[in-house]
Amino acid sequence: MIKRFGTLSLGLFLGFLLAFTSVHFLDDDITPQVISEASKLIGVDFTPAERDSMTAELETNRESYQSIRDLELDNGIPPALSFNPIPPGKTISKVEQPNSWNLSEDVNLPDQRSDLAFYTVEELASLIKQQKISSVELTKFFLDRINQYNDTLEAIVTVTEEIALKQAKKMDQELANGNYRGPLHGIPYGLKDLFAVEGYKTTWGAAPYKDQQINETATVAKKLEEAGAVLIAKTTLGALAYGDVWFGGTTKNPWNLEQGSSGSSAGSAAGTSAGLFPFAIGTETWGSIISPSNRTGTTGLRPTFGRVSRHGAMALSWSMDKVGPITRSVKDAALVFEAIHGPDGKDQSVVNLPFIYKSDVDITDLKIGYLKSAFKSDYDNRHRDSLTLAKLEELGAKLVSIELPDYPVSDLSFILTAEGAAAFDQLTLSNRDDEMVRQGKSAWPNLFRSARFIPAVEYIQANRARQVLIQKMDSVMQQVDMYISPTYGGNNLLLTNLTGHPSVIIPNGFTDEEQPTSITFIGNLFDEGLILDVANQYQQATDFHTKHPDMFMQ
């Protein structure tokens, strides 16, 4: 054990440490012996005299903890602490530039009506703009798809038919009057069911909240409505944003129904892949857009932390939660992101910076890094990933070998569980966590309980170490314009979620069992436009994103 003589900060922790026990044993005295036993959990020891001196302070602290618990703070209330991913001294350009979309203008309806299920947003936008199909027709088409396939896929919690048809009718009337809102005008979409929509349940995928109604509408849903999109369904998520198991079952992978779609944006990815809607909104804290996109062969954008408002969304980790689109193509992801990014005056973490997308960036002018040790390691997708690097070189990319900072990244992961335990404090204290479907050692109920024993001091120390990691990562990013990583290469996924860097995941092949595989592009902070453009150039030079699961092609 480590011998420490400063009693105040660690004493505060020990009081916090004992607070969980005090939920059931509030009248038990805190004795020197209790302190001695509790201190073993954190590897710190005190002398008998120090332990004796701490008892009164810890009793006082425990009373304060109970007083705060009695407030029953709502999940939507953030802490008076803000995470900023921008390292000291770094400046981000605020210069606005027009986006260059080069959208298709003359798309035709398919001979087989069912093929519409896999049209991109860009293609459907052309059909609607030309009035070759109405938004009401398109919405009813996807509602029929949901009715046909959702029992198999288990990707949707609530079909929002009433609001969908109302919004679609409004979009058709506006277009008839000459008002076209843009490429999302009249396009149906799915919304992860951790976003509130007034008049509908918001279940968070978890049994304790399956009848919950929140009387507001999340900012991201409002922004999409303003852009003309039509909310057609609230999609499944693993309970409280973990995995693909929710209170109603397990969301399936459209490519293999024996397998879950991964999570936690399980339904958003599976439904997009299976053609139940053209795009969907997901969230990521540690892989919840990346993982299901990898599993289902979709394209996912995890934006920079602070790009999209989380107002009206379930909080899991205030310093790590991010909102992004899951689509069938990179350009679709860019179109959706343009509509949802930017401040709303409610989520104070969101910055007001431009999103600049150019569809014709000269890839030969870029320094594109690749994580050499990750690509050289022995992993399942190594061959297909090597072909991705070769294709990028064929397109003219200058690939530069880089490595991520050598830092104990995995040891910082308890930041997430500490914040999650605070976000769901009342769930633990009320014992309603027993209602959760998953109850294993790695499931939220156990993780939230265990997180109550994370020292407040160590949580702050971890965030100080995170600040060092941010600066180290900035030094790496100064070497390149962006970089590429195997989707699960090394500690890249956790590291970039901790530092807040944006990422785009796209399909890059199929296994021998015809399961999709993926590759990941990571960019500088608030530079989603560049990684989207480079990923789009790669995607246009391949055809993996044009393939769809056979069992949903009817």
Residue 264 token pair? 């936690």
Tokens of 370: 């690749």
Closest CA to 230 of 270, 172, 272, 155: 172
pLDDT of residue 554: 84
Q: Inform me whether the pLDDT recorded for 6 exceeds 80.
A: no
List C-alpha distances in Å: 98 to 259, 339, 354.
43, 14, 10
pLDDT at 12: 42
Please state the rounded mean pLDDT for residues 475-482.
98
Residues 6+ away with beta carbon under 8 Å from 469? 405, 407, 409, 412, 495, 498, 499
> Coil, strand or helix: which one is 521?
strand
* CATH fold for the domain made of 113-406+466-552: Amidase signature (AS) enzymes (3.90.1300)
User: Six-digit token pair at 265?
Assistant: 């944006």
Whose tokens are 């790695």? That residue is: 442
Question: What is the per-residue burial (b if ≥16 Cβ within 10 Å, else e) of 525-546?
Answer: bbbbbbbbbbbbbbbeeeebbe
Q: What percent of the chain has pLDDT over 90?
A: 93
In the predicted structure, residue 316 carries a pLDDT above the cut 70: yes
- Token duo for residue 337: 């992101």
| pLDDT tens-digit series, residues 378-404 | 999 999 999 999 999 999 999 999 999
Pick from 30-44, 334-348, 363-377: least confident? 30-44
Q: What is the pTM of this model?
A: 0.93
For residue 506, what are the β-bridge partners? 519
Q: Bigger pLDDT: 1 or 421?
A: 421
Residue 479: φ, ψ to 5°? -80, -20
Write down the domain spans for the chain.
1-71, 113-406+466-552
pLDDT of residue 7: 36
Phi and psi at residue 117, in whole multiples of 5°?
-60, -25
Question: What is the model's pLDDT at position 359?
Answer: 86
Q: In whole angstroms, give the CA distance from residue 267 to residue 259.
A: 13
Residue 374's pLDDT band, with cuts at 50, 70 and 90, is very high
pLDDT beyond 70 at 2:
no
Average pLDDT, the chain: 94
Asked if the model's pLDDT at residue 300 lies above 80, the reply is yes
The stretch 270-296 carries a mean pLDDT of 98
Residue 389 pLDDT: 98
Instruction: Say if residue 72 is exposed, middle or buried (CB neighbours under 10 Å; 0-12, 13-18, 19+).
Output: exposed
| 322-327 vs 367-371, strand pairing mode | unpaired
**Residue 122 near residue 332, CB atoms below 8 Å:** yes
- Please state, in angstroms and rounded to a whole number, the distance separating the CA atoms of residues 281 and 108: 27
| Mean pLDDT on 259-273 | 98
Q: What count of Cα atoms within 13 Å lies in the side-chain half-sphere of residue 174?
A: 20
Q: In this predicted structure, what is the pLDDT of residue 163?
A: 98
Cβ atoms of 241 and 264 closer than 8 Å: yes
Confidence of residue 22 (pLDDT cuts 50, 70, 90): very low
Q: What is the pLDDT of residue 23?
A: 44
DSSP structure class, residue 481? S
Q: What is the pLDDT of residue 10?
A: 42
Q: Alpha-carbon distance 65 to 42, whole Å?
A: 20
What's the pLDDT at 514? 96
- pLDDT of 530 strictly over 70: yes
Q: 């009848």: which residue's tokens?
A: 211
pLDDT at 100: 87
- How many Cβ atoms from other residues are within 10 Å of residue 406's Cβ? 7
pLDDT digits (tens, 9 = 90+) for 508-526: 999 999 999 999 999 999 9
At residue 539's C-alpha, the angle toward residues 107 and 260, to 5°, is 100
pLDDT digits (tens, 9 = 90+) for 92-132: 999 999 998 999 999 999 999 999 999 999 999 999 999 99
Q: Please give the sequence-ordered ranges of beta strands (E in DSSP) within 229-361, or none if there are none.
A: 230-235, 245-246, 249-250, 252-253, 256-260, 280-284, 299-302, 322-327
The pLDDT score that the predictor gives to residue 448 is: 96
> Minimum mean pLDDT among 28-37, 329-338, 363-372, 477-486: which range?
28-37
Q: How confident is the model over 30-59, as pLDDT tens digits?
A: 999 999 999 998 899 999 999 999 999 999
pLDDT value for 27:
62
**Per-residue model confidence (pLDDT) at position 360:** 86
2 vs 201, residue with greater confidence: 201
Using 50, 70 and 90 to split pLDDT, how confident is the model at 11?
very low
Side chain identity, residue 419? E
